Amino acid sequence: MKRLRSLPLLFLILAMGSLLAAGCGGDDDGTSATASPTASNAAGTPTVKAAYPVTVTDLLGRTVEIKAKPKVVVALSPTAVEFVYAAGGTIVGRSGSVDFPEAAKAAKEVGTAYQPNFEQILALKPDLIVADSIIHAQPQLKKPLEDLGIPVIFAGADSYQKVLDGLALMGKVFDSAEVTKTLSASITKARDDAKAAVGSKSVSAVALIADRDQTLYAAKPGSYAGDVLNQLGIKNPAASQPDAGPFPGYTTLAPEKLIEYNPDFIFTITPAPAPAPRLSTLVPQIPPFKGLKAVTGKKVIELNLELFLQAPGPRIVDAFKAITAAVTGS
Amino acid sequence: MAAPQFAEPAALVRRGGMRGRPRRAVILGLAVLTLGVLSFLSLMYGAVHLSPGEVLSGLTSDSDLFARNVVWKIRYPRLIDGMLVGAALAVSGSLLQGVTRNPLADPTILGITAAAGLASAVVIVIDPQVPQWGIAMSCVGGGLFGAGVLFFIAWRGAVSPVRLALAGVALSAFFGALIVALLSSSRTFLQTSLGFLAGGLYGSEWRDFDAAVPYIVPGLLVAFLLSGRLNALALGDDVAAGLGVLTDRTRLAILAVCGVLTAAAVSIAGLVGFVGLVCPHLARFTVGSDNRYLVPVSALYGALLVTAADLVARLVIAPSEIPMGIFTAAVGAPFLLYLVKFRG
């Protein structure tokens, strides 16, 4: 009887041992599993011209070899999706909450940007994964993505320059460097035009977001929205603030600081979806803010959430235009 | 000295006598079978459903690359990670309940989970790119530190189980507050902090397994070896000393093992609650209070609970998922309430 009772223990130890052994063997099998598809792909490439295979350096500085023009692509953030389409590619899978371009909406949703579903990514059998170098840089997301055995490149944007870098990268990946160069040139031109129109006005502005507790955060040049202001030569009094609060590139902004800055323009971004009141309607209602130049002059302006926060990318042209329109009053 | 706290389950063992043993064997057999079935279901179901054939092919060969990738790279390591987490936490809980002679003891309530979690949060904030073995190592450091502080505070010549529990509750609140403070001001944790705080297995893979196994497997073996001495401690310090057990050293050793096991679990899954509390009670309900059986059976139930909870967590709102720790509490709490009301 005693022996009978110790059986579960024995089972457990045996199970642990066998699982351990299985775990140790796992890595070898994994690498051989990834080796086979690349071999078969390489065999199929002779029809493609000299453009492939191409080795690219992604925005995390990783070198990735692209064996053939990517046809089945999964993009894991709104920015990644827009980069792919800007380079003439298409996607079969995407993160949730992608609204642009229209064609991308039909792609299958594979989890959210912050929690991609690895199984669904695999199920689409992609030949390229485009992850976001801002969102997916943390090891908890980056490593599992790299381990899927599918080529993965990281491209994201938290600045004007990163948009250009991302486009150059995607041009190489999709063998469409001409297209992306043209686009980059038009972005640079849009920036220069906007800077010429706005810069002469010599205005100051802050870009604010608020969290659920209505704590205000001001964009610094290290953030995408902050860089857009910076690129146009707009003075950002919050630029010299130390990084504080949970949002990279933003600083916690005490109300008295905003009063001290008294900027010409207050741009607001409201992350909460539509029924929630926009920050641009809330700010003028806060009593201490009622005397601010921007409030009395009705220069508290809501910015598009996608353009300035959720989907930094090739549409930066529209972001420049929005700021220009607001500042010049056209 | 106080009488053993778990008088009734002990009586159950006696009452069960010869008739009770086959029944227990049946229950344990069922638990093992359920674990097997749930494991297989875990390999089959998720955001993408696989057939049993695909699962087997994914486990054993490279012939179906998709099945291979899903089963071998995502689901199987996650399943094994979950079992390790469950076993480690449940064993830790059963040891703590034994050593404190308090049925409420559990690594979360005594602050060991929070100490390990704090260490991991600090390391990740300092260097977001820290490798997994570094996280596991710092967790174990934190867990041992937490257990050490607990021992130091609760010991005044001799331990009072009540003092140990009170000190644990205070430490848990303290470390927990520090974690939340760190998370709410940190930039790196923003996206993953919910999964970390509630406990979850999203994205866990062989890397986590490799980093935690060197702590969990030896920890479990030592725990099983020490479980006999726990029986002596349950009789009170005088009797235990009379039986030749060095009571303080044994307590320290057991707390250290709890620290290591809990910390390794935290390094994989974050702050999973309730497993360490409810599983020992389930085990006591099945095999009585003899720790030589109670501790390993707790491990079995821990693995079972986490496997079940993670399966649900992955399926409820697929392709997104809910942190698994929410379901260990959702499944564990009602069962514990049942035991308290009708069996306790």
Contact flag B72-A29 (C-beta cutoff 8 Å): yes
**pLDDT-above-70 percentage for chain A:** 85
Three-class SS state of A283 = helix
Three-class SS state of A92 = coil
Q: How far is A234 from chain B (nearest CA, A)?
A: 26
Q: What is the pLDDT of residues B88-113, one digit of tens each?
A: 999 999 999 988 888 888 899 899 99
Chain A residue with minimum CA distance to B36: A15
Put simply, the chain B residues between 121 and 180 with a CB less than 8 A from any chain A CB are 128-132
Size of interface A-B (CB pairs under 8 A): 133
Across B9-31, average pLDDT: 62
Higher pLDDT, A28 or B288: B288
Rounded to whole angstroms, the Cα distance separating B95 from B263 reads 15
Put simply, the chain B residues between 197 and 226 with a CB less than 8 A from any chain A CB are 202-203, 205-207, 209-210, 213, 217, 220-221, 224
**pLDDT-above-90 percentage for chain A:** 61
Contact flag A109-B48 (C-beta cutoff 8 Å): no
Q: How far is B149 from chain A (nearest CA, A)?
A: 30
Rounded to whole angstroms, the Cα distance separating B92 from B115 reads 14
Q: How far is B239 from chain A (nearest CA, A)?
A: 25
B184 touches chain A (CB under 8 A): yes
Select the residue of A27, A117, A246 nearest B190 (Cβ to Cβ): A246
A144 contacts on B by Cβ (under 8 Å): 74, 203, 205
Q: One-letter amino acid identity for A236?
A: N
Using the predicted structure, report yes or no on whether residue B17 has a pLDDT greater than 80.
Answer: no
Rounded to whole angstroms, the Cα distance separating B74 from B232 reads 43
Using the predicted structure, report yes or no on whether residue B23 has a pLDDT greater than 80.
Answer: no
The one-character DSSP state at A304 is: P
Q: How far is A133 from chain B (nearest CA, A)?
A: 14
Q: DSSP letters of B109-169? A: TTTHHHHHHHHHHHHHHH-TT--HHHHHHHHHHHHHHHHHHHHHHHEESEE-HHHHHHHHH
Contact flag A5-B77 (C-beta cutoff 8 Å): no
Q: What is the pLDDT of residues B230-289, one digit of tens each?
A: 888 877 777 777 777 777 788 889 999 999 999 999 999 999 988 999 999 989 888 888
Chain A residue with minimum CA distance to B184: A246
Closest CA to B74 of B163, B166, B206: B206
Q: How far is A88 from chain B (nearest CA, A)?
A: 27
Contact flag A27-B206 (C-beta cutoff 8 Å): yes
Global pTM?
0.78
Rounded to whole angstroms, the Cα distance separating B188 from B140 reads 21
Contact flag B66-A125 (C-beta cutoff 8 Å): yes
Mean pLDDT, chain A, integer? 84
* Per-residue pLDDT band at A18 (split at 50, 70, 90): very low
- Residue B280: Cβ within 10 Å count: 31
* Gyration radius of chain A over CA positions: 24
Contact flag B217-A16 (C-beta cutoff 8 Å): yes
Using the predicted structure, report yes or no on whether residue A134 has a pLDDT greater than 70.
Answer: yes
Rounded to whole angstroms, the Cα distance separating A150 from A264 reads 49
A30 contacts on B by Cβ (under 8 Å): 72-73, 206
Structure tokens at A82: 């827009």
Closest CA to A65 of A49, A54, A51: A54
Contact flag B25-A4 (C-beta cutoff 8 Å): yes
Three-class SS state of A93 = strand
Q: One-letter amino acid identity for B248?
A: D
Chain B residue with minimum CA distance to A125: B66
Rounded to whole angstroms, the Cα distance separating B76 from B64 reads 16
Across A48-75, average pLDDT: 89
Q: Which residues contact B312 (CB under 8 A, 6 or more apart)?
A: B327, B331
* Per-residue pLDDT band at A24 (split at 50, 70, 90): very low
Chain B residue with minimum CA distance to A3: B25
Quick one: pLDDT at residue B260? Answer: 96
Three-class SS state of A153 = strand
At CA A25, angle to CA A24 and CA A30, rounded to 5? 115
Quick one: pLDDT at residue A78? Answer: 95
Q: What does each C-alpha distance from A48 to A44, A54, A57, A128, A150 come to in angstroms?
A: 9, 12, 21, 17, 20
Using the predicted structure, report yes or no on whether residue B205 has a pLDDT greater than 70.
Answer: yes
Rounded to whole angstroms, the Cα distance separating A109 from A107 reads 6
Three-class SS state of A1 = coil
Q: How far is A123 from chain B (nearest CA, A)?
A: 7
Pairing of strands A128-131, A73-75: parallel
Contact flag B217-A9 (C-beta cutoff 8 Å): no
Residue to mutate among A1, A13, A16, A32, with most B CBs inside 10 A, is A16
Q: How far is B211 from chain A (nearest CA, A)?
A: 11
Using the predicted structure, report yes or no on whether residue B73 has a pLDDT greater than 90.
Answer: no
Quick one: pLDDT at residue A159? Answer: 95
